[in-house]
């Protein structure tokens, strides 16, 4: 015969463990950690200079969202593009990552990304990226 007392204890123990797991997973682990603050670049805001740019003569993509917002919609994307271009051109050891990149949006269409050179305190990299189609407009090293 089956010992009903031991079966009851086993079922009650398994149910208690299941309920504790549900409570822990539902309430204790649901608190979200704070997102870390951005430590790669500082967004300086939008700057208006000169007359507005003419619209592009062609569509960039078949997707309406990309045509409306642009290929480079935000400062984080501009940072990633500029960082990739700088690494491909000069190498990772020539960029001072202890200094934040500075990013501005000029005339609603041009992202200007600035970085400091490593071991050369007064050298600055400056990259201008068209927000609409992602082209590198201007790329200089100021000495």
Rounded distance between C-alpha atoms, residue 71 and residue 65, angstroms:
9
Rounded distance between C-alpha atoms, residue 95 and residue 127, angstroms:
13
Rounded distance between C-alpha atoms, residue 77 and residue 10, angstroms:
56
Task: Tell whether the model's pLDDT for residue 84 goes beyond 90.
Answer: yes
Closest CA to 92 of 125, 121, 122: 125
Task: Tell whether the model's pLDDT for residue 77 goes beyond 70.
Answer: yes
Task: Tell whether the model's pLDDT for residue 129 goes beyond 90.
Answer: yes
pTM recorded for the entire structure? 0.66
User: In what order do the strands lie in the sheet containing 136-142?
Assistant: 41-47, 101-106, 110-116, 124-130, 136-142
């Amino acid at each position: 015969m089956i010992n009903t007392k031991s079966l009851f204890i086993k079922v009650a123990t398994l149910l208690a463990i299941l309920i504790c797991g549900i409570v822990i997973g539902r309430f204790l682990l649901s608190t979200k950690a704070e997102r870390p603050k951005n430590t790669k670049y500082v967004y300086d805001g939008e700057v208006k200079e000169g007359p507005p740019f003419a619209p592009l003569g062609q569509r960039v993509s078949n997707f309406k969202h990309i045509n409306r917002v642009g290929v480079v919609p935000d400062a984080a994307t501009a940072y990633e593009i500029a960082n990739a271009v700088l690494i491909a051109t000069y190498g990772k050891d020539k960029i001072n990552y202890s200094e934040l990149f500075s990013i501005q949006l000029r005339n609603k269409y041009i992202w200007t990304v600035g970085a400091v050179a490593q071991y050369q305190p007064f050298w600055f990299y400056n990259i201008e990226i068209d927000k609409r189609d992602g082209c590198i407009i201007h790329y200089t090293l100021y000495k």
